[in-house]
Structure 1
Amino acid sequence: MTSTSDSVAARATPSITTAVVLARGLGSRMRAKGGAALTAAQAAAAASGHKALMPIGEHRLIDYSLSALADAGIRRAVLVVAPEHEEFSRHLAEVTPTRLEVALAVQEEPRGTADAVASAREVVGEQPFIMVNGDNLYPVEGVARLLRAEGNAMLGFERAALLERSNIPAERIAAFALIAHRGGRLERIVEKPDAATLASVGPDALVSMNCFAFTPEIFEACARIAPSSRGELEIVDAVRALEEVQVLPFAGGVLDLSRREDIADVQRRLSGVEVAL
Structure 2
Amino acid sequence: MKPTLVILAAGMGSRYGGLKQMDPMGPSGEVIIDYSIFDAIRAGFGKVVFVIRRDIEADFKEAFGDKLSKQIPVEYVYQEPDVSKYTSETVERSKPWGTAQAVLSAKDVVKEPFAVINADDYYGKEAYELLVKFLSDQPAGNHYSMVGYELPKTLSEFGTVSRGVCKVDENRSLTEIVERKKVGRDEAGTIRFHNPDGERGTLGEDTIVSMNMFGFTPTFFDYIDEYFGNFVRENIKDPSAEMTIPDILNELIAKNEVSVKVLTSRDSWFGVTYKEDKPDVIGRLNSLIEGGVYPDNLWGN
Q: Is the pair's TM-score, using the shorter chain for normalization, greater than 0.5?
A: yes
Matching residue of 1:8: none
> Which residue in 1 is equivalent to 2:168?
181
Matched ranges for 1:58-73 at <5 A: 58-73=29-44
For 1:204, the equivalent position in structure 2 comes to 206
Query: 2:266 corresponds to which residue?
Result: 251
Q: Which residue pairs with 1:27 in the alignment?
A: 13
Correspondence 1:116 to 2:131: no
**1:260 aligned residue (263, 275, 286):** 275
Q: CA RMSD in A?
A: 2.4
Q: For the Cα contact (< 8 Å) 1:186–1:245, is it kept in 2? A: yes
> Aligned in 2, Cα 1:218/1:170: closer, same or farther, shift over 3 Å?
farther
* Alignment map for 1:112-191 (pairs within 5 Å): 112-124=98-110, 126-149=111-134, 150=138, 151-160=143-152, 162-163=153-154, 168-169=156-157, 172=160, 175-182=162-169, 183-191=171-179
Percentage identity across paired residues of the two chains: 30
In the alignment, structure 1 residue 238 sits paired with structure 2 residue 248: yes
Query: What is the TM-score of this pair, normalised by structure 1?
Result: 0.78
Whether the 8 Å CA contact 2:4–2:48 is kept in 1: the answer is: yes
Match of 1:55? 24
Unaligned runs of 5+ in 2: 82-95, 182-192, 195-199
Unaligned regions of 5+ residues in structure 1, if any? 1-14, 32-45
* Greater radius of gyration (CA): 2
Write the letter of the residue equivalent to 2:151: R
- Partners of 1:82 and 1:67 in 2: CA distance: 23
Residue aligning to 2:75: 103
The answer to whether the 8 A contact 2:158-2:277 is kept is no
Q: 1:250 Cα deviation (Å)?
A: 2.6
Q: Is the 8 A contact 1:255 1:266 kept in 2?
A: yes
Contact 2:158 2:274 in 1 (8 A): no
Q: Which residue of 1 aligns with 2:59?
A: 87
Of Structure 1 and Structure 2, which has the larger fraction of its residues in helix? Answer: 1
Moved more, 244-253 or 92-101: 92-101
Aligned residues: 238
**Structure 1 residues 16 and 93: CA distance shift in structure 2, 3 A:** closer
Alpha-carbon distance, 1:197 to partner: 5.0
Runs of 4+ in 1 over 6 A off after TM superposition: none
State the Cα deviation string for residues 235-256 of structure 1 (Å, max 9, x = none): 1112223322111223321121
Counterpart Cα distance in 1 of 2:52 and 2:71: 21
